[in-house]
């Protein structure tokens, strides 16, 4: 297995097929769950036939389905006595509700995470107070209650009581459940180095290396550096350049603290619900090997762009992506399995972001790209994209041309799995060319047709002003810090 891997797919399947026993040093997971729903909604009875694992980005809900019921029975039968007892007790109390579906889906994944964790390994499960009590019981059953180390409270932000209409106390924190595989585990206590000339209040000199981070509340302000913020006060500011638009994004400083404390350089860090990739970015920066898994191409594309934007083009040679189509046959299979995921994957091939908030709400636009001409003060120009995974006809080209005219876009691109006909190419050619204002002599086809085969072979959109790899969300800031500045805290 390569040192660093991004997997596209259901993490339960990926863990079972690709991750070996006792091969991971540290696991961090922030599984999706919609904590904004009221309890009476969470516990409402649900019926459905969709796969419980097929959760699109930003849809953090789980439902009791036939697939979920089957997963529940499999875990009860094979997950061990304590796991079976816990799941059966949950179901007797909760019934076939959304919360039970969540626990039924989490249980086999936690069983697999226990399997892949090294004897000296640690796991941090990030959750909200809505489900943390159930998850702690479940983790007690899987890891053993004696392996519970701490419940860490992480403040999600400064929340003012004047900004909420809820008739309740304000929710302002998440929970991290910290477990280990055994009693012997890696833990590098984060310390803030003593300033030069530091003495205790009684005048004596300290004997240790620094002040424990979580004790800084009891120190003089001049003895606490900015890097020494207690874990529960680390957050992303609303104006931070770190924010990429992913609603469940966690601050890099939070992951830096966890990874530094519970792993060493060269160790393997795993995030099975990788989202926008904060864990893998921080693991890369701190010299750890890493495994990231996500079930949506939206997230996988974002992680690839974020890694490149943060570390430069050379990072692409340091990891492998497994599960994405690499040829037309694989693309065809993905299209048959899930046309929406095919659409997200195809847009990722040209670095486009998805348009709209859901299927069918795009007014004929599946993706967009923006660029600027080199002339100073040039307006933002737009390229609109349409993705087709089935049979295509000249009508699709005419429709795209209409969208380009309606949106006053510079260029329209039709991405197709099927080879376009000669009539389609003639229809595209009839749309003429777009020329930049600063140089009217330059001409680029107004309507361009690109096949998946061509994109996989390296062909791209004919427009020189595109910045390679325009991200699905905001671009991640480039990591320009010297290595010496990436670890400001010292280890005990």
- As given in the structure block, the two tokens for residue 417 are 């799995």
Q: Name the strand (E) or helix (H) holding 38.
A: none
Answer with the residue of higher pLDDT: 124 or 240. Answer: 124
- As given in the structure block, the two tokens for residue 398 are 């005419």
Query: Residue 39's pLDDT is what?
Result: 28
Mean pLDDT of 449-468: 88
Query: Residue 224's pLDDT is what?
Result: 46
Gap between the Cα atoms of 478 and 311, Å rounded: 6
Domain ranges of the chain: 4-186+229-322, 335-456
CA separation, residue 229 to residues 248, 250, 311, 438 (Å)? 21, 16, 26, 50
Contact criterion met (CB below 8 Å) for 429 and 438: no
Q: Where are the alpha helices (DSSP H) in 79-183?
A: 81-94, 98-116, 132-143
> What superfamily in CATH does domain 4-186+229-322 come from?
Vaccinia Virus protein VP39 (3.40.50.150)
Nearest-Å Rg of the Cα atoms of the chain is 25
The residue among 294, 329, 373 whose CA lies nearest residue 32 is 294
- As given in the structure block, the two tokens for residue 326 are 């690499």
For the chain, the distance separating the N- and C-terminal CA atoms, rounded to the nearest angstrom, is 32
Query: Residue 221's pLDDT is what?
Result: 46
Query: Residue 240's pLDDT is what?
Result: 42
Mean pLDDT of 17-39: 78
Strand-strand pairing, 490-491 and 190-193:
antiparallel
CA separation, residue 446 to residues 401, 410, 438 (Å)? 8, 7, 17
Per-residue pLDDT band at 190 (split at 50, 70, 90): confident
Query: Residue 326's pLDDT is what?
Result: 87
Query: Residue 275's pLDDT is what?
Result: 84
Is the pLDDT score of 461 beyond 90? yes
Q: What is the pTM of this model?
A: 0.75
Q: 335-456 sits in which CATH class?
A: alpha beta
DSSP labels, 201-237: TTSPPP-SSEEEGGGGGGS-GGG--GGG--GGG----
Highest mean pLDDT among 167-176, 348-357, 364-373: 364-373
The residue among 120, 116, 130, 211 whose CA lies nearest residue 173 is 130
% pLDDT > 70, the chain? 73
Gap between the Cα atoms of 325 and 11, Å rounded: 17
What is the pLDDT of the chain when averaged over all its residues? 80
Per-residue pLDDT band at 247 (split at 50, 70, 90): very low
CB atoms within 10 A of CB 196: 5
Query: Residue 207's pLDDT is what?
Result: 67
Answer with the residue of higher pLDDT: 51 or 206. Answer: 206
DSSP 8-state class, residue 97: B
Query: Residue 194's pLDDT is what?
Result: 65
Strand-strand pairing, 433-434 and 490-491:
unpaired
Mean pLDDT of 409-418: 96
Per-residue pLDDT band at 244 (split at 50, 70, 90): very low
Is the pLDDT score of 13 beyond 70? yes
Mean pLDDT of 213-229: 47
Per-residue pLDDT band at 179 (split at 50, 70, 90): very high
Contact criterion met (CB below 8 Å) for 206 and 198: yes
Mean pLDDT of 232-242: 43
Query: Residue 52's pLDDT is what?
Result: 38
Query: Residue 165's pLDDT is what?
Result: 67
Mean pLDDT of 135-143: 97
Highest mean pLDDT among 54-63, 81-90, 305-314, 332-341: 81-90
% pLDDT > 90, the chain? 50
The residue among 342, 325, 186 whose CA lies nearest residue 264 is 186
Query: Residue 372's pLDDT is what?
Result: 83
Per-residue pLDDT band at 54 (split at 50, 70, 90): very low
- Give counts: helices (H), strands (E), the chain: 14, 18
Is the pLDDT score of 317 beyond 60? yes
pLDDT tens track for 282-297? 999 999 999 999 988 8
Query: Residue 204's pLDDT is what?
Result: 74
pLDDT tens track for 196-205? 666 666 777 7
């Amino acid at each position: 297995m390569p040192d660093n891997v991004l997997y596209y797919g259901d993490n339960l399947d990926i863990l079972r097929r690709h991750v070996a026993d006792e091969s991971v040093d540290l696991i961090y997971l922030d599984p999706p769950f919609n904590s904004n729903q009221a309890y009476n909604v969470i516990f409402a009875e649900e019926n459905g036939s969709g796969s419980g694992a097929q959760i699109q980005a930003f849809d953090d809900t789980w439902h009791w389905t036939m697939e979920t019921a089957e997963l529940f029975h499999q875990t009860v039968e094979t997950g061990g006595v304590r796991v079976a007892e816990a799941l059966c007790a949950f179901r007797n109390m909760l019934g076939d509700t959304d919360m039970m579906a969540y626990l039924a889906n989490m249980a086999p994944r936690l069983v697999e995470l226990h399997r892949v964790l090294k004897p000296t390994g640690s796991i941090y499960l990030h959750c909200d107070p809505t489900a943390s009590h159930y998850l702690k019981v479940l983790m007690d059953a899987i890891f053993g209650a004696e392996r519970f180390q701490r419940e860490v409270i992480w403040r999600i932000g400064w929340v003012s009581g004047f900004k909420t209409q809820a008739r309740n106390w304000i929710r302002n924190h998440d929970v991290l459940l910290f477990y280990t595989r055994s009693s012997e585990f890696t833990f590098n206590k984060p310390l803030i180095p003593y300033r030069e000339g530091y003495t205790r209040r009684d005048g004596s000199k300290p004997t240790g290396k620094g002040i424990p981070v979580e004790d800084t509340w009891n120190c003089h302000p001049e003895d606490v550096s900015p890097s020494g913020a207690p874990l529960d006060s680390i957050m992303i500011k609303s104006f931070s350049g770190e924010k990429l638009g992913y609603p469940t994004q966690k601050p890099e400083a939070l992951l830096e603290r966890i990874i530094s404390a519970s792993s060493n350089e060269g160790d393997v860090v795993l995030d099975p619900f990788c989202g926008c990739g904060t864990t893998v970015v921080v693991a890369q920066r701190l010299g750890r090997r890493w495994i990231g898994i996500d079930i949506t191409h939206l997230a996988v594309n974002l992680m690839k762009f974020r890694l490149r934007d943060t570390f430069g083009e050379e990072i692409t040679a340091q990891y492998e992506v497994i599960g994405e189509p690499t040829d037309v046959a694989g693309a065809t299979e993905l299209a048959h399995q899930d046309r929406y995921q095919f659409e997200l994957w195809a847009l990722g091939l040209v670095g486009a972001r998805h348009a709209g908030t859901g299927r069918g709400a795009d007014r004929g636009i599946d993706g967009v790209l923006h660029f600027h001409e080199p002339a100073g003060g040039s307006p933002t120009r737009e390229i609109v994209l349409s993705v087709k995974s089935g049979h295509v006809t000249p009508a699709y080209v005419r429709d795209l041309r209409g969208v380009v005219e309606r949106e006053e876009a510079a260029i329209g691109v039709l991405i197709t799995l099927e080879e376009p006909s000669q009539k389609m190419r003639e229809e595209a050619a009839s749309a003429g060319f777009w020329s930049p204002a600063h140089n009217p002599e330059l001409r680029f086809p107004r309507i361009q047709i690109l096949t998946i085969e061509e994109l996989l072979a390296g062909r791209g959109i004919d427009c020189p002003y595109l910045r390679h790899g325009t991200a699905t969300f905001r671009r991640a800031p480039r990591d320009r810090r010297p290595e010496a500045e990436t670890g400001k805290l010292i280890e005990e």
